[in-house]
Amino acid sequence: MEGYNAQEILNCYDLTAKEYADKFLNELDGKPFDRNILDRFTQLLPNGSVVYDFGCGSGQTTKYLFDKKVHKIIGLDFSENSIRLASRNFPEITFIVDDMLNSKMASNSVEGIIAFYSIVHFTYTEVEKAFKEWWRLLETGAFCLFSFHIGEGSVEISDFLGVKGANAVWRLLEMDKILTIAEKVGFTISEAIIRYPYKGVEHETKRGYITLKKSYDSRKE
Ligand SMILES: C[S@@+](CC[C@H](N)C(=O)[O-])C[C@H]1O[C@@H](n2cnc3c(N)ncnc32)[C@H](O)[C@@H]1O
């Protein structure tokens, strides 16, 4: 349970792509806070901005933002099966297989990044690595918004969603530690919120939502 096991996580989401979509595709219907914070995020960006949805999974947040028809949203995930299914469910949206810890996307290529519950398997080491990648990808003045489970320690789940062999470790993360890492990487904290879970709708952990701004470009200094 010590480090981040990328292969195990990838295998878990490849195996459960269908079950994940079946369970979570319409989950935003029961999460008004999440819809609201996504709406507010879109208002931070100029119309027509390119936005990456990292760890998009079945693509429910990608579809939500796509339907706003304000920005060009692209869904990215390292699970090929999840991306294949998302592309089938939402053929009007671009989905790309990509690893957010070592992205093939170009530097300074986006005005916005969202990542809903995509860092939930990372230790603080990978969180820092992801923030560095997001920093590289974002244009100066751009924003990212991400969410995670609040807490300490980890939870090991075997046969996730009832699928044999789909095993993964979920990490609970502390808000203050995440904010410290974000500032170390160079981001300005725009907003940080902890909310209680929606009972009966989602797993009963408190949830963290952070909006970061890349206020300057360190390479130009
Ligand atoms: C808990 S799911 C969240 C999916 C979706 N964003 C949601 O809100 O339901 C975590 C997602 O992150 C993806 N993921 C984990 N590590 C990744 C990495 N290094 N690069 C890209 N995607 C990753 C997984 O494949 C999975 O789809």
Domain of residue 156 covers 6-220
Q: Which domain CATH number covers 78?
A: 3.40.50.150
Domain total of the chain? 1
The helix (H) or strand (E) run that includes residue 146 is: strand 138-149
- Domain membership flag for residue 214: yes
- Domain membership flag for residue 91: yes
pLDDT of residue 217: 77
Query: What is the DSSP pairing of strand 168-171 with strand 154-157?
Result: antiparallel
**For residue 1, is pLDDT > 90?**
no
Q: Which residues of 16-51 are buried (b: 16+ CB within 10 A; e: fewer)?
A: bbeebbeebbeebeebeebeebbeebbebbeeebbb
**Over residues 154-160, mean pLDDT:** 96
Atom of ligand 1 nearest to the CA of 57: 27
Q: Other CB atoms closer than 10 Å to residue 158's CB: what's the count? A: 10
pLDDT band at 201 (very low <50, low <70, confident <90, very high): confident
pLDDT band at 4 (very low <50, low <70, confident <90, very high): very high
- Domain membership flag for residue 154: yes
- Domain membership flag for residue 1: no
Secondary structure percentages of the chain, helix, strand, coil, to 5: 40, 25, 35
**Over residues 150-160, mean pLDDT:** 97
Characterise 145 by phi-psi region: left (phi > 0), alpha (psi -120 to 50), beta (else). Answer: beta
pLDDT of residue 220: 56
- Domain membership flag for residue 129: yes
The helix (H) or strand (E) run that includes residue 7 is: helix 6-15
- Domain membership flag for residue 57: yes
Each residue's pLDDT tens digit, 95-145: 999 999 999 999 999 999 999 999 999 999 999 999 999 999 999 999 999
Q: Other CB atoms closer than 10 Å to residue 108's CB: what's the count? A: 14
Among protein residues, the one with the nearest Cα to ligand 1's atom 1 is 117
Among protein residues, the one with the nearest Cα to ligand 1's atom 8 is 116
Report how far apart the first and last C-alpha atoms of the chain are (Å, whole number). Answer: 40
pLDDT band at 3 (very low <50, low <70, confident <90, very high): confident
The helix (H) or strand (E) run that includes residue 92 is: none
Per DSSP, what are the bridge partners of residue 96?
76
- Domain membership flag for residue 62: yes
Mean pLDDT of all residues belonging to the chain: 96
- Ligand 1 centroid from CA 121, angstroms: 9
Each residue's pLDDT tens digit, 23-63: 999 999 999 999 999 999 999 999 999 999 999 999 999 99
- Domain membership flag for residue 18: yes
Q: List pocket residues of ligand 1, CB cut-off 6 Å.
A: 9, 13, 24, 55-57, 61, 77-79, 82, 99-101, 116-118, 120-121
Mutation test residue for ligand 1: of 8, 22, 78, the one with most atoms within 8 Å of CB: 78
3-state secondary structure of 53: strand
pLDDT of residue 219: 60
